[in-house]
Structure 1
Amino acid sequence: MASLPTITLNNGVEIPQLGFGVFQVPDEETTTAVAHALAAGYRSIDTAAIYGNEAGVGKALAASGIAREELFVTTKLWNADQGYDATLRAFDTSLGKLGLDHVDLYLIHWPAPAKDLYLESWRAIETLVADGRVRAAGVSNFQPSHLTRLLDHSDLVPAVNQIELHPGLQQRPLREMHAAHGIATEAWSPLAQGAVLKDPLLRELADRYGKSPAQVVLRWHLQLGNIVIPKSVTPARIRENLDVFDFSLTAGEMESLTSLDAGLRTGPHPDTLD
């Protein structure tokens, strides 16, 4: 299988542009799902402490026989573990569950602004980067105000901001801010949990290319330059989500999809989740 395209992050680390997410997958099902993904050709796996399935991911990685340097593993710091010392402890716990000696990307999962601890957490992550235990550091669900504050108080620019992003919530101003600061945009809920897939425009494009609406949306993400982490536990769907490199949307088709932006959130708002 041809290798997947990669995005070079602002510190030179390369991340596969299309990865596999395990949000809401029970731990006992995660090992099998990740094994299917690795067999299909995925090399980037995205988990989080709060998902409760880091151990399941670790089992699949260990059993895969794939060299560690070929894998890209992301996990995230949960809100309750923010703060300098708490972040270091939480990272150790995640690493133990994953059975690894480092992760490729470590993210602050939410800014949790009412806690006002994300600057301390970031300082801890700077330490983990300096120690070689985190190859790339990033954030998730950070709004422009959160990013600006982080940039004002640290020399370490986040490599990634992982945000809810799909045709129904396109986040153009935030993506433009990312581009201005060399921060890669990574999309969670890239298919809006299916909410956008019945749109007539997506169905029309899917028919035109002999693809599914989900494949059209994933292709849209890739052509925007987003990193994308679709999730499935169905082997056929896991493979289908990877089969998006044999067609391209035209500039006109890409532009037409901007009409689907409706401010549609499937998850919490970053300003209010703590």
Structure 2
Amino acid sequence: MRHWNNKMRQSSLLVLHPKQLHQLVLPGCLLHLLGRKRRNNVKVPSEVKACIINALRSTSGSNGAGLSKGTTSLRQSQAGRSLLWACNNSKGTSDTILVWHITTTILEVRHPHHQGDGRPSSVVSEKKIAATHLSCYCAYLVESCPELLPDDDAWSKYLYKEVKKDAERALVSGGDGIEVSSLTPEAGYRQLIELLGATQNHEVLKDAAKLAEQLGDLIGGEEMLWELLAGFWSEMILYVAPSDNGHLQAIDRGGELITLWALLAHVGTVDRPDDTNANAAAG
């Protein structure tokens, strides 16, 4: 058995690099960016660990009753409660992960890393680091390790491929004839919402565009949106962790961040209150 190397893999269905926005020429460059995969193994940031531990503490005495697909953390604020529609229990966990993952990526475009005097507060930086890393880790699980998720393996892989293919189509056909030599973060954000939210697109893309716009319009601004996203992703990683699927094999390979299920079992949080509904949606 290999020891866990304290790293987490990163993947993205919609790969966009904010530092390259000023070079974008639609649609070709966006298609090129979509085809790139971010699977590098990165050291787990301390911000990620802190957010997961905080979420774990809030559920440790609930015997699993507090675990959900992000809804518990969202219900803690009025702004969060307005987003509960995007955690629909009638859909599979993989659907929810991809919706929130694409949303997180879109918001990264609007809020690129600041430099100089424009640097965000430490709270924003910490929550953003946690949210973006967990988002890309969960996308990696859907794409490459669906056996570690509560949904059916084949369904999760199929869903990822279908959503990715439709995202490519939407950005190419929607951007036909558009050339943008200089694209600001705000313009890039609005462009993505328009292209991915088109009526004919996959439901995951439309929901992601709707959610990104809703989060972008929050009164609390950037600090509020990254706090909500960090809370959602921290709870999601705990929700998917108590799965009986594939963890022993993952431990033999050296482990995954998600194998903190052993810690969950230790504190008594070993099951989800709505396992049946989640698996039914995947079937």
How high is the TM-score relative to the length of structure 1? 0.28
How high is the TM-score relative to the length of structure 2? 0.27
